[in-house]
Amino acid sequence: MFKREIQKYTKFREDFDFKYERVIEKDDCKYFKDCIVEDSLKKYSEGNGFINLGYNFKNSLSRALSNLYPITFNFRGKKVNSIEGVLQGIKYKDKKIQNLILKYSGLDAYHTRAANTDDFWGNEGFLYWQGNPIKRDSNEYQLFLDELYLSASKNPIYKRALLATGDWYLLHHIGCEDISQTVLTRYEYELRVNSLREYIKQKN
């Protein structure tokens, strides 16, 4: 049953009219749609029509929809404690280490990457799930991300927070855009959360 739902969401995501706009840097500030989202003092801000997602932001919705936020859900037969735990865990070929990292959330999950510095996944461009390789630059990996976020939405707190954002654009201005340096680009993240919200609305 869940496999069919993943296929439905993937089709929805592929057809989704996603209006992605780049963050512009000028005068030591970062702008999104002519609004300053990060000033020269590294202070973050919101704007009309969008919510800036991040674990360290003041807005509760910004925090709750961060990948680091502690939410428990089942993913591919594993009980995980955050989206971030999965995103960090897939950097490791060793299943035992991966399974440990799946239990982490928050900045603890983020900083598990320190154990990966001597074997950087980007050198060969492969990520792993339970020892099986997934090429970073592949459709298989995009389907993996679809399944991850759809699985997270089964957590009622995450789902309600997602729906509580209404029609505002969900932004992650601090996201990296280089797929050789990150397992989740700003584009991939924003596409997932914005399309998933609309998919859930359609189902409801």
What pLDDT is stored for residue 1 in this prediction?
54
CA distance to 19, 168, 186, per residue, from 173 (Å):
15, 15, 7
pLDDT tens digits, one per residue of 97-123? 999 999 999 999 999 988 887 778 988
Indicate the pTM of the whole model: 0.95
**The two three-digit tokens of residue 95, written as one number:** 């299943």
Alpha carbons 6 and 147: distance in angstroms, whole number:
6
- Indicate which CATH number applies to the domain containing 70: 1.10.357.40
pLDDT tens digits, one per residue of 25-58? 999 999 998 899 998 888 877 778 999 999 988 8
Query: Domain span at residue 37?
Result: 2-203
Alpha carbons 46 and 62: distance in angstroms, whole number:
10
Alpha carbons 79 and 174: distance in angstroms, whole number:
28
What pLDDT is stored for residue 119 in this prediction?
73
**The two three-digit tokens of residue 12, written as one number:** 């929805």
* Residues of the chain falling short of pLDDT 70: 1
The length of the chain is: 204
